[in-house]
Every structure is written in structure tokens, then in C-alpha cells.
Amino acid sequence: MLSNSCLSSNSISSAAAGIAGNVFALVLFMCPIPTFQRIVRNRSTEQFSGSPYIYTLLNSLICLWYGLPLMSPGIIMVATVNGIGVVFQAVYIIIFIAYTNKARKVKMSGLSISVLMLFLVVVITSLQFFNSRSQQMFVGYLSVASLISMFASPLFIIKLVIKTRSIEYMPFYLSFSTFLMSLSFLAYGLLKADPFIYFPNGIGTILGIIQLALYFYYKSASTDHLREPLMNSCA
């Protein structure tokens, strides 16, 4: 009876963590919407880059494949969050291609096709050349590598904030949502005892904490800097 109670508690906790992770991820997926509203309004991609959406699409596809019951039973929340991610990135890429110049249309279309072909290779390789346990490990390692490569962006932002001593390029809501999403899936991975989930999200949680600490540190420093001349003038 105690064992069943613990199992039920674990299931409820993991489901709650997974749902929370999906909600916070949805917030992150929606962040580029103002950018694409501007693109549609101006009928031009201006100087915006489409590369981040290509990389995120590949990451979402690989992690979606890992989270499907066929590959990893019992972690459906990983599949749902990345399925949502695939839809958002596909829409963003289609809009980008529709409103960019001819040269970038060709480049973005080529990259999109390359991503789909690479994903197809991953699917075929995992199904044809590995048994069920090895399939999960093969795709799991790919998903971890893909997620870790995505950390290049927050690392760049952290470096930029330290260099400029400004939080201009690190919006609080974005850093906070990233931290909460990583923390939620860290908890989900630990409850599911899946290192392919908790390891990369553990790194993401640490980076999120660093970003938030830098935000409050430099926000405080900026406030003090702004107050200092006012105090001098009053004196």
C-alpha cells in the first residue's frame, strides 16, 4: 500500500512538473511573436536572422523523437513541449521565408530542407540499426548534445551583460521563464530518473540562476549609478 502511494505521488509530481515546463516553454516560444508581427507589418525581415529558428527546429524535432512513446515510454511531456516547439518554429520559418529577399529565401529553404533530411536520417538510423534500449540511448545522447548546443545563446548573453555592465540585452521575463522551464524539466527528469532530461536541464537551471543573479546585480548597480549624481546635486 505504501509503495502504491509513493508511486501515485511520484506520478502526480512528475505530471505537475511536466505541465509547468510546457507552460513556461510556451511563453518562450511566443517571445518572437512581436518580431514577426513587425516583419509582416513591414513586409520585410530587415536585419533579423532566421538561423535561431532553424536551430531550434532541429532541437525540437530531435527531442520530440526522443520523447515519443515509441522511443521513450512514460515521458510524454517531453514530446508535447517539443511538438509545440516544432509548430511554432515551422510557422516562424515560413513567415521569414515569405518576407525575406531572394538570396535569403534560397538559404533558409535550403537549411530547412537540410534539417528535415537530417532528422529523417536520425529516425531511420535509430529504427534500423539499434535495438529498443540502444535506440533510446542513441537519440537521448543526440537530444542532450542538441540541447547543450542551444546554451550558446545564454552564454553569449551572460558574456555581453558582463562586458557592457548592462541588462539591456537580457529581459527579465525571458531569463525568468527560461529558468523556470529548465527547473521544471530538471524536476521532471529527476522524478522520471532520466539523465537525458535532467542533465541538460540542470545546466540550463544553473545558467538561468547566473542570468538572474547578473540581472539583479547590474540592475542594482545601474540604479545606484543613476542615484549618485542626484545625491551630489542635492548636496
- Residue 92 or 153, more confident: 92
Answer yes or no: is pLDDT of 169 > 70: no
Q: Give the confidence band of 223 by pLDDT, cuts at 50, 70, 90.
A: low
Answer yes or no: is pLDDT of 221 > 70: no
pLDDT (average), residues 176-190: 93
Answer yes or no: is pLDDT of 5 > 90: no
Mean pLDDT taken over the chain: 85
d(C-alpha 165, C-alpha 51), whole Å? 27
Give the range among 13-17, 147-151, 188-192 with minimum mean pLDDT. Answer: 147-151
d(C-alpha 4, C-alpha 13), whole Å? 14
Please tell me the predicted confidence (pLDDT) of residue 164.
Answer: 78
Q: Confirm if 178 and 208 have CB atoms less than 8 A apart.
A: yes
Q: Give the confidence band of 40 by pLDDT, cuts at 50, 70, 90.
A: very high
d(C-alpha 146, C-alpha 60), whole Å? 9
Give the range among 15-29, 164-178, 198-212 with minimum mean pLDDT. Answer: 164-178
Answer yes or no: is pLDDT of 234 > 60: no
pLDDT digits (tens, 9 = 90+) for 106-158: 999 999 999 999 999 999 999 988 887 788 899 999 999 988 888 777 777 77
pTM, 2 dp: 0.85
d(C-alpha 102, C-alpha 81), whole Å? 33
Please tell me the predicted confidence (pLDDT) of residue 18.
Answer: 93
Q: Confirm if 182 and 201 have CB atoms less than 8 A apart.
A: yes
Those residues whose C-beta lies under 8 Å from the C-beta of residue 143, and which sit 6 or more positions away, are: 62, 63, 65, 66, 196, 200
